[in-house]
Amino acid sequence: MILADTDILARLGDGDLVIDPLADVDTQVQPASVDLRLGLEFLEFRRTNIPCIHPNDEREVDEYVTETHVPEGDDFILHPGDFVLGTTKERVEIPDDLVAHVEGRSSLGRLAIVVHATAGLCDPGYRGQITLELSNLGNAPVALSPGMRVSQLTFTELRSPADRPYGSERGSKYQGQSGPQASRIGDDPEFLGSGAAEDADGTAVE
């Protein structure tokens, strides 16, 4: 079941679903979704002459991106063909019996702005800001203003709560993230060795 506005407001009121700060409830809560605003931080991908990026090489991944902070009142210009990581201004907490879907706003889609490439899911148990995979598929630069409504979340109720929700018990890589986070795919078990990789306390890394 997809939650309607009355369901969303009820879950927010109960406190098990958290969206903070929710600055303008009347504007941000839509009939079956919640609009989220654009944060101040961006990770830009540098032009590079290296043959390729190895996902399991953290040094290469870190050297491939550079952080940009846009002051309040300024714009981030997203040029045609560019791909950057942004973040939501809001921090979310998803309860164990819901899954949230990150969607783009139609008004930005009509300007050829895409807000996620593949990562359109917030698992049950996820807590933190949401990294947005922003790209410009059009022919003209588009100014993105921190604080503007840039994406929306829809919520689907699970038939039963997740038995192993996203979080520290799973060794989830992006739990509690603040600001846009570069790929941590190098922490995946298939890159760390055969079998289920474990971190220092013996927790499986996922």
Residue 28 labeled ligand binder: no
Tokens for 137, please give them. Answer: 């598929």
Residue 205 Ramachandran class (φ > 0 left, ψ -120 to 50 alpha, else beta): beta
Residue 152 labeled ligand binder: yes
Report the top-level CATH class of 5-46+60-175.
Answer: mainly beta
Concatenate the DSSP letters of all residues of 140-187 into one string: S-EEE-TTSEEEEEEEEE-SS--SS-SSGGGT-TTTT--S-----GGG
pLDDT, tens only, 26-41:
999 999 999 999 999 9
Residue 201: exposed, middle, or buried by beta-carbon count in 10 A (0-12, 13-18, 19+)?
exposed
Residue 123 labeled ligand binder: yes
In this prediction, residue 193 has a pLDDT band, given cuts at 50, 70 and 90, of: low
User: Exactly one of 93, 103, 133, 198 is catalytic; which is it?
Assistant: 133
Q: Which pLDDT score, from 0 to 100, does residue 50 have?
A: 67
Whether 133 sits among the annotated catalytic residues: the reply is yes
Residue 108 labeled ligand binder: yes
pLDDT, tens only, 91-130:
999 999 999 999 999 999 999 999 988 768 899 999 999 9
Residue 106 labeled ligand binder: yes
pLDDT, tens only, 135-190:
999 999 999 999 999 999 999 999 999 999 988 777 788 888 888 887 777 777 77
b/e 155-186 (16+ beta carbons within 10 angstroms → b):
beeeeeebeebbbeebbbbbbebebbbebeeb
In this prediction, residue 201 has a pLDDT band, given cuts at 50, 70 and 90, of: very low
